[in-house]
Each structure stands twice: as C-alpha cells, then as structure tokens.
Amino acid sequence: MPRWEPDGVGRLQAAAFELFAEQGFERTTVAEIAQRAGLTQRTFFNHFADKREVLFGLGSEFQEEIVREIAACADTLPPLDVVVRALQAASDTMFEERRAAVTRRQEIIDANPELQERELSKQAALIHAIAAALHARGLDPETALLTAGAGMLVQQTAVRRWTQPAESRPLRELLSDALHSLRTVATQTTDQRVVPLET
Amino acid sequence: MPRWEPDGVGRLQAAAFELFAEQGFERTTVAEIAQRAGLTQRTFFNHFADKREVLFGLGSEFQEEIVREIAACADTLPPLDVVVRALQAASDTMFEERRAAVTRRQEIIDANPELQERELSKQAALIHAIAAALHARGLDPETALLTAGAGMLVQQTAVRRWTQPAESRPLRELLSDALHSLRTVATQTTDQRVVPLET
DNA sequence: ATACTGATTTCAGCAAGTGCAATCACTGAT
DNA sequence: ATCAGTGATTGCACTTGCTGAAATCAGTAT
C-alpha cells in the first residue's frame, strides 16, 4: 500500500474548486481546502505559491502548447494570423471539450477581484511568451509584443462569447470572428479609407 | 492649531513611495509606512483598501479625465481614434510633466509581481470604463470592449517607450506612432490585401 | 453649553504565508 | 537483508496583512 493517497495536487485542486463554487473564494479557508483533500494547510503551500494559484494549474500547459504552435507555423503567414491560428489549435485540444468546466471556473473567477487579478497576470505572462515566440521567428520585440497583445485581445473577445449560454459555436470560429472584428475596428480611420483588393 | 497634521493620505503615499523605492515593496511593512507618516497601521487601512492601493491613487482621476474626453469628442471620428485622442489629451495634462515621477513609480511596480497584478487590474477597469463611454456614444457593447482593449494596447505600447531613458519625444506622439503600428499589425492579412484609397 | 462630526487610535483576532526540523514509507545499492 | 538516501507530508512557531468594534477628542454647528 502506498504511504499516501495518490495525486495530492489533484485532490487539492478539486477540493478548492468545489469549495470556491459552494461558498465563494473569500469565505473558503486554505485549511478547509486541505482538510477536504485529506491533507494539511502546510502541504497546500508546498504545492501552490498562494491560495489563488490552485485555480490556475492548466495555464502553463496552454502556454506551452501555443508557443509550440507558433514555432511550427508557416513562415509566410502574417504574425497576427500566426498567433490566432496557434490559439485556435490550442483551443481545439484544451478548451472545446470542457466547456462546462471552463465556464464554471470562469464564474468563480468573475465573482472575485483577487482571482481576476491573477487571471490578468496569467494573460500578461502569456502575452510575453507569445511575443518571445514571435521574436524567435524574426519579428522585432516591439512589434512582437504589440502583435501578442492583439492576439490575446482576440482570445479574450472570443472566450467571452464562448462562455455565454446562448452561444453554441466552436471557439475556433469565434476566434476567427473576433479577429475579423479587431481588423474592422483597427481599419476604420480618418485620413484614409481602405478597401479589399481582389487578387 | 489643528488636531492632526494635515494631508494624512498624502503623507502615507509619500512615505510608501519612498520606502518602496528604498527597500522594495515586500520588505516594507504597513506599520513602517504609517510610522514614517506619523500615523497608525489602522489609519493606513482606513484610507487604502490594501497595501498595494497606496501606489494607485491617481488612477481614478486619469480614468475620469479620459471618460470626459471621450464623451466630448466629435461624433464623426472612428471609435479607435476617439479613444486615442482621449488618451492623448489626458496624457498631456497628467503625464507629460511628471516623467521622472512616473518612471520611478513604474520601476517600483516592475520590481514586484503583486504590484504588477494590481496595475493590470487598474488597466482592466480603465478598459471597461472606456467601453462604457463608447457604448454611451451608441457603439454596441461588444465592439466597444474590443475598441477599448485596442486603445489600451496602444497606450501600453506608447507608455512603455515613453518611460525608456533613450526616448525624448512627447507621449502624444508616441501614442500616434503606436496607433499606427497597431493598424499595421492588424491590417496585414492573408486572404485580402488592402490599399489606401485616394479621396 | 451642548451635541455632533469625523479622523484617528487601541485592541483583539483571523487568515495568509514562511522557515525549519521531523517523520517515515519507499527505493536503490551493497 | 540491511542501510543510507529520497521526497512528500507534517507540526510548530512566527511575521504580516487586514478587519471589527469601541474609544478618543479637537473643531464645528446649534
């Protein structure tokens, strides 16, 4: 028999997820989470840097996936398209099948400012990772950061719609839509009008 | 004689700013800040919701200024131009003359993850305020949020350069440049090429 | 005079987070 | 089989952030 029940990290994540959903983030104590997972408060902090972090375990995998996709993408594509395609690929494998779970997680986060801060922080980290991946493809750092920011703007817009009950389309499509919306917003200008040129 | 020395809030902000610069955010205790300001820890928390908040006092004024500018802007301008012009106007009155102070503040924030999180949170709040102001002008909420996000992307890009030692141009110009960069990034596309149309 | 205001203080206490030493089933080497 | 090492877990003591409630008291209005 093993000395400890397996997958302590997973049990802590599950317990935290449940308790946050049941009674909210603030009214849940770390000791409480650990107790439900059959562990100690001290053990919780051995695995997670702080109370918030327990909700953001999947973030790093998502980031790695995206960086991989960007590195693997065709060289001829415009940078913003590269980013959005990477987001689409990662979405297919990591989001599409878990819509219910993702949505519930988002509700927990939306209900608490501290968690929102942490999520913004993770998004910022993702932006920098994307920018680094673009820079590795030869883009200058300034433009890379701007492009990464634009990409995450697209991602946020798409996910916001995807997690709404009325929406049933795949995230991949919503990403394409959001990219188109951003291009529309960015293209409208005073001193010049642009029109598509037939190829 | 007054019962208390005047401007307790200002003294707390100044003391915090100094201490954070001297020894960093983490190694500075709230009791320490209060002591340097000649007040109590409890009084600190009467004025600021938490230890981080003491660095973000000017944010709300900036937000109000921008919302005002957006509401006052000409109806014919494209939304993204409206946002950037508002940012330019607010920058002139609230940033341009304080470059040294703004830069030092930014250094403090850049040195600490918790402060970075709070700054991202403030930026998100600003995005929502801008989106609300755009929505009040008749833009649909979805597009308003996207446009506000694009505007803040421009802002971040411009401020990042403005706070670099090598840069000497006014923030107003850098905002124009960043807007142009964003338009360039967003305009490059695979399935259609766009060209300026002479008016 | 009197009551009221409001910024400040004191105090008691919870919860987050950390450093350190100890435990002890499991593992690999002898 | 034995023995030393590994590593996840734990207990404990401690600092710090943050809060609620009640008390203080100069200035102000009535």
Residue A184 has pLDDT above 80, yes or no: yes
pLDDT digits 0-9 by tens, A160-173: 999 999 999 999 99
Cβ of residue B6 lies below 7 Å from strand D: no
What per-residue confidence (pLDDT) applies to A192? 53
Chain B hits for A124, CB-CB cut-off 8 Å, are 116, 120
Cβ of residue B51 lies below 7 Å from strand D: yes
**Chain B residues 90-109 with CB within 8 Å of chain A:** none
pLDDT mean across residues, chain B: 94
Q: Please judge whether A145 and B157 are an interchain contact, meaning their C-beta atoms are less than 8 angstroms apart.
A: yes
Give the rounded percent of residues in chain B with a pLDDT score beyond 70.
95
Average pLDDT (A39-60) is: 96
Residues A34 and B154: their CA atoms lie apart, in Å, by 44
Average pLDDT (A126-145) is: 97
Cβ of residue A4 lies below 7 Å from strand D: yes
- Alpha carbon of B104: minimum distance to chain A alpha carbons (Å): 21
Of residues B3, B2, B26, B28, the one with CA closest to residue B12: B28
Q: How far is CA A143 from CA A71, A182, B186, in A?
A: 17, 17, 11
From the CA of B59 to the C1' of D16: give the distance in Å. Answer: 27
Nucleotides of chain C in contact with protein CB (under 7 A) are 6-12, 15-20, 24-26
Domains and CATH numbers, chain B: 8-54 (1.10.10.60), 57-183 (1.10.357.10)
Q: Please judge whether A81 and B189 are an interchain contact, meaning their C-beta atoms are less than 8 angstroms apart.
A: yes
**If DSSP codes are grouped into helix, strand and coil, which group holds residue A50?**
coil
Q: How far is CA B132 from the centre of its chain?
A: 17
Residue A199 has pLDDT above 60, yes or no: no
Residues B13 and A39: their CA atoms lie apart, in Å, by 42
pLDDT mean across residues, chain A: 94
Q: Please judge whether B190 and A77 are an interchain contact, meaning their C-beta atoms are less than 8 angstroms apart.
A: yes
pLDDT digits 0-9 by tens, A138-153: 999 999 999 999 999 9
What per-residue confidence (pLDDT) applies to A3? 87
By C-alpha to C1' distance, C19 is nearest to A42
Taking the Cβ of residue B147 and every Cβ of chain A, the question of whether any pair is shorter than 8 Å is answered with: yes
What per-residue confidence (pLDDT) applies to B59? 86
Q: What angle do CA A188, A153, B119 make, to 5 degrees?
A: 115
Residues B72 and B28: their CA atoms lie apart, in Å, by 43
Residues A63 and B2: their CA atoms lie apart, in Å, by 57
What per-residue confidence (pLDDT) applies to B193? 52
Residue in B50, B120, B145, B156 to test binding to A, most A beta-carbons within 10 Å: B120
The number of C-beta contacts closer than 8 angstroms across A and B is 124
Q: A54 pLDDT band (50/70/90 cuts)?
A: very high
What per-residue confidence (pLDDT) applies to B75? 86
What per-residue confidence (pLDDT) applies to B192? 53
Give the rounded percent of residues in chain A with a pLDDT score beyond 70.
95
- Alpha carbon of A110: minimum distance to chain B alpha carbons (Å): 13
Average pLDDT (B116-144) is: 98
What per-residue confidence (pLDDT) applies to A105? 97
- Alpha carbon of A74: minimum distance to chain B alpha carbons (Å): 12
Question: Can you read off the two tokens belonging to residue B16?
Answer: 């915090």
What per-residue confidence (pLDDT) applies to A195? 57
Average pLDDT (A37-52) is: 98
From the CA of A2 to the C1' of D6: give the distance in Å. Answer: 15
Question: Can you read off the two tokens belonging to residue B6?
Answer: 């005047």
What per-residue confidence (pLDDT) applies to A193? 52
CB atoms within 10 A of CB A143: 18
Q: A128 pLDDT band (50/70/90 cuts)?
A: very high
Q: B142 pLDDT band (50/70/90 cuts)?
A: very high
Q: How far is CA A169 from CA A90, A105, A153, A162, in A?
A: 16, 19, 19, 7
- Alpha carbon of A6: minimum distance to chain B alpha carbons (Å): 32
Q: Please judge whether A146 and B199 are an interchain contact, meaning their C-beta atoms are less than 8 angstroms apart.
A: no
Residue of B nearest to A151 (CA): B186
What per-residue confidence (pLDDT) applies to A1? 67
Task: Say which amino acid occupies B39.
Answer: L
pLDDT digits 0-9 by tens, B20-58: 999 999 999 999 999 999 999 999 999 999 999 999 998
What per-residue confidence (pLDDT) applies to A198? 62
Q: Which of A79, A146, A178 sits opposite B153 (nearest CB)?
A: A146
**Chain B residues 47-66 with CB within 8 Å of chain A:** none
